[in-house]
Protein backbone atom coordinates (compact mmCIF):
# COMPACT_ATOMS: atom_id res chain seq x y z
CA UNK A 1 0.00 0.00 0.00
CA UNK A 2 1.34 3.41 -0.93
CA UNK A 3 2.02 5.62 2.08
CA UNK A 4 -0.47 8.47 2.20
CA UNK A 5 0.27 11.56 4.20
CA UNK A 6 -1.85 12.71 7.10
CA UNK A 7 -2.10 16.49 7.41
CA UNK A 8 -2.39 18.28 10.73
CA UNK A 9 -4.75 21.24 11.09
CA UNK A 10 -5.93 23.35 14.02
CA UNK A 11 -9.47 24.76 14.10
CA UNK A 12 -11.13 26.92 16.72
CA UNK A 13 -14.75 27.19 17.80
CA UNK A 14 -15.14 30.79 19.00
CA UNK A 15 -18.08 31.75 21.21
CA UNK A 16 -19.37 35.23 21.97
CA UNK A 17 -22.68 36.65 23.13
CA UNK A 18 -24.57 38.94 20.74
CA UNK A 19 -28.09 40.29 20.45
CA UNK A 20 -30.41 38.37 18.16
CA UNK A 21 -34.11 39.19 17.82
CA UNK A 22 -34.05 41.21 21.01
CA UNK A 23 -32.30 38.66 23.23
CA UNK A 24 -28.70 37.80 24.11
CA UNK A 25 -27.75 34.67 22.18
CA UNK A 26 -24.67 32.49 21.89
CA UNK A 27 -22.96 33.25 18.58
CA UNK A 28 -19.94 32.00 16.69
CA UNK A 29 -17.99 33.35 13.72
CA UNK A 30 -17.67 31.21 10.61
CA UNK A 31 -15.45 31.62 7.57
CA UNK A 32 -16.64 31.15 4.00
CA UNK A 33 -14.33 28.78 2.14
CA UNK A 34 -12.59 30.25 -0.88
CA UNK A 35 -11.27 26.98 -2.26
CA UNK A 36 -12.20 23.35 -2.82
CA UNK A 37 -13.27 21.14 -1.21
CA UNK A 38 -16.53 22.68 0.00
CA UNK A 39 -15.87 25.92 -1.93
CA UNK A 40 -18.37 28.55 -0.77
CA UNK A 41 -19.46 26.64 2.35
CA UNK A 42 -19.17 28.05 5.84
CA UNK A 43 -16.53 26.44 8.05
CA UNK A 44 -14.80 26.87 11.39
CA UNK A 45 -11.77 29.16 11.38
CA UNK A 46 -8.67 27.04 10.98
CA UNK A 47 -5.96 25.77 8.74
CA UNK A 48 -2.74 23.75 8.56
CA UNK A 49 -0.47 23.74 11.60
CA UNK A 50 2.69 25.68 10.83
CA UNK A 51 5.95 23.90 11.66
CA UNK A 52 7.16 26.66 13.98
CA UNK A 53 4.03 27.18 16.07
CA UNK A 54 2.53 25.22 18.95
CA UNK A 55 -1.04 23.94 18.78
CA UNK A 56 -2.20 26.71 21.10
CA UNK A 57 -0.42 29.37 19.05
CA UNK A 58 -2.19 28.09 15.95
CA UNK A 59 -5.54 28.38 17.77
CA UNK A 60 -4.70 31.96 18.79
CA UNK A 61 -3.83 32.72 15.17
CA UNK A 62 -7.23 31.36 14.06
CA UNK A 63 -8.86 33.68 16.54
CA UNK A 64 -6.83 36.76 15.61
CA UNK A 65 -7.20 36.21 11.85
CA UNK A 66 -10.96 35.71 12.09
CA UNK A 67 -12.00 38.23 14.70
CA UNK A 68 -9.00 40.43 15.55
CA UNK A 69 -9.71 39.51 19.18
CA UNK A 70 -7.84 37.97 22.08
CA UNK A 71 -9.40 35.03 23.90
CA UNK A 72 -10.74 35.48 27.41
CA UNK A 73 -10.59 31.68 27.57
CA UNK A 74 -8.89 29.19 25.26
CA UNK A 75 -8.91 25.43 25.74
CA UNK A 76 -8.29 22.30 23.73
CA UNK A 77 -11.58 20.54 22.94
CA UNK A 78 -10.77 17.28 21.15
CA UNK A 79 -8.90 15.90 18.18
CA UNK A 80 -10.97 14.72 15.25
CA UNK A 81 -9.27 12.23 12.97
CA UNK A 82 -11.75 9.87 11.32
CA UNK A 83 -10.37 8.43 8.08
CA UNK A 84 -12.97 10.18 5.91
CA UNK A 85 -13.94 13.61 7.16
CA UNK A 86 -15.25 14.89 3.85
CA UNK A 87 -12.20 15.90 1.84
CA UNK A 88 -9.84 14.17 -0.58
CA UNK A 89 -6.84 14.57 1.79
CA UNK A 90 -6.83 12.96 5.21
CA UNK A 91 -6.66 15.69 7.85
CA UNK A 92 -6.39 15.29 11.62
CA UNK A 93 -7.85 18.42 13.25
CA UNK A 94 -6.94 19.48 16.74
CA UNK A 95 -9.87 21.63 17.81
CA UNK A 96 -9.75 24.41 20.42
CA UNK A 97 -12.63 26.45 21.74
CA UNK A 98 -12.46 30.07 22.81
CA UNK A 99 -14.61 32.60 24.61
CA UNK A 100 -14.47 36.29 23.69
CA UNK A 101 -16.03 39.24 25.45
CA UNK A 102 -19.37 40.61 24.33
CA UNK A 103 -18.44 44.24 24.11
CA UNK A 104 -15.56 43.54 21.76
CA UNK A 105 -17.19 40.72 19.82
CA UNK A 106 -19.54 43.27 18.28
CA UNK A 107 -16.64 45.36 16.96
CA UNK A 108 -15.20 42.61 14.77
CA UNK A 109 -13.64 44.14 11.70
CA UNK A 110 -15.33 43.97 8.34
CA UNK A 111 -14.47 40.91 6.28
CA UNK A 112 -16.90 39.62 3.65
CA UNK A 113 -15.76 36.06 4.28
CA UNK A 114 -16.45 36.12 8.02
CA UNK A 115 -19.88 36.27 9.68
CA UNK A 116 -21.26 35.62 13.16
CA UNK A 117 -24.21 33.23 13.43
CA UNK A 118 -26.45 32.27 16.37
CA UNK A 119 -25.31 28.83 17.56
CA UNK A 120 -28.87 27.58 17.16
CA UNK A 121 -29.25 28.81 13.57
CA UNK A 122 -26.08 27.76 11.79
CA UNK A 123 -25.92 27.37 8.02
CA UNK A 124 -24.82 23.98 6.63
CA UNK A 125 -21.13 23.56 7.47
CA UNK A 126 -18.21 22.03 5.56
CA UNK A 127 -16.62 18.68 6.51
CA UNK A 128 -17.64 17.39 9.97
CA UNK A 129 -17.76 20.89 11.44
CA UNK A 130 -21.40 20.59 12.52
CA UNK A 131 -20.45 17.65 14.75
CA UNK A 132 -17.49 19.62 16.11
CA UNK A 133 -19.66 22.62 17.02
CA UNK A 134 -22.07 20.23 18.74
CA UNK A 135 -19.24 18.91 20.93
CA UNK A 136 -18.06 22.42 21.77
CA UNK A 137 -21.54 23.62 22.76
CA UNK A 138 -21.96 20.55 24.95
CA UNK A 139 -18.61 21.16 26.65
CA UNK A 140 -19.50 24.80 27.27
CA UNK A 141 -22.87 23.85 28.80
CA UNK A 142 -21.27 21.21 31.03
CA UNK A 143 -18.58 23.56 32.27
CA UNK A 144 -21.07 26.31 33.07
CA UNK A 145 -22.13 24.55 36.26
CA UNK A 146 -18.80 24.00 37.91
CA UNK A 147 -16.64 26.88 36.61
CA UNK A 148 -16.86 30.65 36.24
CA UNK A 149 -16.44 30.48 32.50
CA UNK A 150 -19.53 32.61 31.88
CA UNK A 151 -17.60 35.63 33.21
CA UNK A 152 -15.28 35.38 30.22
CA UNK A 153 -18.17 36.35 27.95
CA UNK A 154 -18.93 39.59 29.82
CA UNK A 155 -17.32 43.02 30.13
CA UNK A 156 -15.13 43.66 33.18
CA UNK A 157 -18.14 45.08 35.04
CA UNK A 158 -21.59 43.61 34.65
CA UNK A 159 -24.99 43.41 36.28
CA UNK A 160 -26.39 40.15 37.62
CA UNK A 161 -29.06 40.49 34.95
CA UNK A 162 -26.39 40.46 32.24
CA UNK A 163 -24.73 37.42 33.83
CA UNK A 164 -28.07 35.62 33.92
CA UNK A 165 -28.66 36.45 30.25
CA UNK A 166 -25.31 34.84 29.39
CA UNK A 167 -26.32 31.67 31.25
CA UNK A 168 -29.71 31.71 29.54
CA UNK A 169 -28.06 32.18 26.14
CA UNK A 170 -25.81 29.16 26.69
CA UNK A 171 -28.44 26.90 28.27
CA UNK A 172 -31.15 27.94 25.82
CA UNK A 173 -33.75 28.42 28.55
CA UNK A 174 -34.96 31.08 31.00
CA UNK A 175 -33.72 31.09 34.60
CA UNK A 176 -35.58 32.45 37.57
CA UNK A 177 -34.00 35.87 38.33
CA UNK A 178 -34.37 35.68 42.12
CA UNK A 179 -32.93 32.16 42.34
CA UNK A 180 -30.08 33.05 40.01
CA UNK A 181 -29.23 36.14 42.07
CA UNK A 182 -29.26 34.16 45.31
CA UNK A 183 -27.09 31.34 43.97
CA UNK A 184 -24.60 33.71 42.35
CA UNK A 185 -24.22 35.88 45.44
CA UNK A 186 -23.79 32.77 47.61
CA UNK A 187 -21.12 31.37 45.29
CA UNK A 188 -18.67 34.13 46.15
CA UNK A 189 -17.57 34.35 42.51
CA UNK A 190 -18.67 37.99 42.05
CA UNK A 191 -18.41 41.09 44.20
CA UNK A 192 -20.21 44.43 43.90
CA UNK A 193 -18.07 47.31 42.65
CA UNK A 194 -20.20 49.85 44.57
CA UNK A 195 -21.21 51.51 41.28
CA UNK A 196 -24.47 51.19 39.36
CA UNK A 197 -25.27 50.82 35.70
CA UNK A 198 -25.22 54.19 33.91
CA UNK A 199 -28.17 55.38 31.86
CA UNK A 200 -30.80 53.71 33.99
CA UNK A 201 -32.85 56.28 35.91
CA UNK A 202 -35.15 54.24 38.10
CA UNK A 203 -33.34 51.83 40.48
CA UNK A 204 -30.22 51.33 38.33
CA UNK A 205 -28.84 47.81 38.89
CA UNK A 206 -25.59 47.29 40.80
CA UNK A 207 -22.41 46.48 38.92
CA UNK A 208 -20.29 43.44 39.80
CA UNK A 209 -16.84 42.16 39.00
CA UNK A 210 -15.67 38.57 38.78
CA UNK A 211 -13.52 37.43 41.67
CA UNK A 212 -12.42 34.51 39.50
CA UNK A 213 -11.01 36.63 36.70
CA UNK A 214 -7.40 35.55 37.19
CA UNK A 215 -8.21 31.89 36.60
CA UNK A 216 -9.68 32.76 33.23
CA UNK A 217 -6.59 34.46 31.83
CA UNK A 218 -4.84 32.26 29.33
- Residues binding a second copy (CB under 8 A): 1, 3-6, 8, 49, 51-55, 76, 78-79, 81-83, 90, 92, 94
Which of residues 55 and 115 has its CB atom nearest to a second copy in the complex?
Answer: 55
Which of residues 83 and 217 has its CB atom nearest to a second copy in the complex?
Answer: 83
Question: Helix, strand, or coil here: 216?
Answer: helix
Contact 21, 100 (CB under 8 A): no
The distance of closest approach from Cβ of residue 214 to a second copy in the complex, given in angstroms and rounded to an integer, is 21
The distance of closest approach from Cβ of residue 95 to a second copy in the complex, given in angstroms and rounded to an integer, is 9
Which of residues 144 and 206 has its CB atom nearest to a second copy in the complex?
Answer: 144
Contact 127, 133 (CB under 8 A): no
- CA-to-CA distance for 17 and 154, rounded, in angstroms? 8
Which of residues 95 and 154 has its CB atom nearest to a second copy in the complex?
Answer: 95
The distance of closest approach from Cβ of residue 56 to a second copy in the complex, given in angstroms and rounded to an integer, is 9
Burial string for 11-47 (b: 16+ CB within 10 Å, else e) reads bbbbbbbbebeeebbbbbbbbbbeeeebeebbbbbbe
- CA-to-CA distance for 46 and 63, rounded, in angstroms? 9
The distance of closest approach from Cβ of residue 94 to a second copy in the complex, given in angstroms and rounded to an integer, is 5
Amino acid sequence: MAEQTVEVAVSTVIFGIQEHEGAAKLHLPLVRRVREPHLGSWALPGGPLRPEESLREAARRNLADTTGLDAAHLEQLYTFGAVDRGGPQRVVSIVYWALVRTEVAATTREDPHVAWFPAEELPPLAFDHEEIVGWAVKRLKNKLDYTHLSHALLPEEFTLGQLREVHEAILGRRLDPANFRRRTEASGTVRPTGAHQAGVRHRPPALYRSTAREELLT
